[in-house]
Amino acid sequence: MTNTLPRVRSTGGGQPQEEAPERAPVAAPVSRLRALDGLRLVAALMVALYHYGGRSGDISRGWGASPKKLFPSAHEWFSYGCLGVQIFFVISGFVICMSGWGRPLRSFFASRVSRLYPAYWAALIIITAVFALPWVVYKTVTPSEFVVNLTMLQMPVGVPRVLGVCWTLWAELRFYALFAVCVVLPGATRRRVVLFCAGWTLAAALTATAQQPFLNAVFMPEYASFFIGGMGLYLLHRNRRDVTAWGIVAVSWAIGQHWAVAGLWHKPNPAAFSNRHASVIIAIITLGFVLVGLIALGHLRWANWRWLTVAGALTYPFYLVHEHLGWVVVGVLHRGLHIPAPATFALTVAAMLLLAWLLNRYVERWATPLLRGALARKPIPAGRPR
């Protein structure tokens, strides 16, 4: 969910692009997959639907009542919006495999850090400041906890989170680390990516039975299949006739839908906020794989509108700020100004998109290239004149 799409060559159904073992892999620039930008924003909006109207808890404080009462017919559908995260992970697997292909480790590291952290730091500052306002006063953190949150490692350290959505960033960081060590460091080739996908699939499956916290943290059995499926789809983007890649995607989809159903389905209960149907969960997971697959195979190349690039740029900052700040905006509009719930819902989403645009325009556009350049630059050896 956190990636800027690099410019790549669309190979369609051409010949395999595997490099000879002795050659360094070469990145292939050219056309941008704008449809993937649009799909990322759709996934982010799905998550927003879930946070604003698809669950009880903290958002009820903003509305002044449970969303189940405010949206009696829609709250059940909003509850499926959390599956936008799984779609994000599929997209992330595709994009990281694409961006890491042909890049040295230093460049890959600089690209990921500079993409993740500037907007994240800005979101931390804004949300911490808003939550500390006298008329908000909600889940403030200590200065020490705030500093740890700046590292994005608050979850393994055991520190309270400023951003509720940062658990997905922790999953992304672990994926980046695994991919960097196993694929980027030795040099990305089709063979290495296939072995990585197979090894991670097996390790995640064994981890699910071992029930060891450390292994679970490393191999992420409930989310691994979505990242792996995205990597398989990128291999199909390079060569749609790659039977092994089709197998990777099929196995990943099969395991992924299982984990989604296991995590989100429960027996019908009148007291529950919502009752998700297993068939709908499977359908949404399948649709996510299919849409990324259509983009990978070039069938959505016609969706090449420039505004999709803007949509992709807004996705990450919107994802960071929409949940917690959305609670505050909902409270101001609905309880403070007595604006009807449907209009409050729409206005809150619009306000978060506007804030995302401001973060992209005034934070990411200058901070990302600045940080990337500083990290990608090789240090000058001691004693050597500059």
Mean pLDDT value of segment 197-225: 95
pLDDT given at position 15 = 42
- 57, part of any domain: yes
| Residue 24: pLDDT over 60 | no
Among 142-156, 295-309, 371-385, where is mean pLDDT lowest? 371-385
pLDDT bin (cut points 50, 70, 90) of residue 29 is very low
pLDDT digits (tens, 9 = 90+) for 308-322: 999 999 999 999 999
Is the separation of the CB atoms in 20 and 112 below 8 Å?
no
| Residue 107: pLDDT over 60 | yes
How far the first Cα of the chain sits from its last, in Å, is 39
Is the separation of the CB atoms in 236 and 246 below 8 Å?
yes
**Percent over 70 (pLDDT), the chain:** 89
Mean pLDDT of the chain: 89
pLDDT digits (tens, 9 = 90+) for 225-284: 999 999 999 999 999 999 999 999 999 999 999 999 999 998 888 888 888 999 999 999
Buried b (16+ CB within 10 A) or exposed e, 42-81: ebbbbbbbbbbbbbeeebbebbeebbbebbeebbbbbbbb
Q: Is 259 helix (H, G, I), strand (E, B) or coil?
A: helix
pLDDT digits (tens, 9 = 90+) for 128-144: 999 888 877 566 788 99
Is the separation of the CB atoms in 99 and 3 below 8 Å?
yes
- 221, part of any domain: yes
- 79, part of any domain: yes
Q: Which of 4, 17, 188, 198 is nearest to 105 (CA)?
A: 188
- 10, part of any domain: no
Our CA angle for 28, 29, 34, nearest 5°, is: 120
Whole-angstrom CA distances from 177 to 96, 173, 185, 313, 331 are: 11, 6, 10, 24, 39
Distance between CA atoms of residues 238 and 324, nearest Å: 39
Distance between CA atoms of residues 39 and 117, nearest Å: 22
Whole-angstrom CA distances from 11 to 37, 107, 234, 352 are: 19, 24, 10, 37
Q: Is 8 helix (H, G, I), strand (E, B) or coil?
A: coil
- 236, part of any domain: yes
- 8, part of any domain: no
Distance between CA atoms of residues 82 and 49, nearest Å: 8
229 token code pair: 């499926």
Compute how many other C-beta atoms are within 10 angstroms of the C-beta atom of residue 202. 11
- 23, part of any domain: no
| Residue 19: pLDDT over 60 | no
pLDDT given at position 59 = 87
pLDDT digits (tens, 9 = 90+) for 41-91: 999 999 999 999 999 888 888 899 999 999 999 999 999 999 999 999 999
**Structural domain count, the chain:** 1
Write phi, then psi, for 8 (nearest 5 degrees).
Answer: -135, 165
Distance between CA atoms of residues 69 and 77, nearest Å: 14
Compute how many other C-beta atoms are within 10 angstroms of the C-beta atom of residue 93. 26
Quick one: which H or E segment has residue 130?
Answer: helix 105-131
pLDDT bin (cut points 50, 70, 90) of residue 16 is very low
pLDDT bin (cut points 50, 70, 90) of residue 11 is very low
Whole-angstrom CA distances from 69 to 50, 77, 143, 177, 325 are: 15, 14, 38, 43, 22
- 14, part of any domain: no
pLDDT given at position 159 = 93
The CA dihedral of 47, 49, 55, 56, to the nearest 10 degrees, is 120
pLDDT bin (cut points 50, 70, 90) of residue 1 is low
243 token code pair: 């039977």
pLDDT bin (cut points 50, 70, 90) of residue 377 is confident
Q: Which domain holds residue 141?
A: 34-376
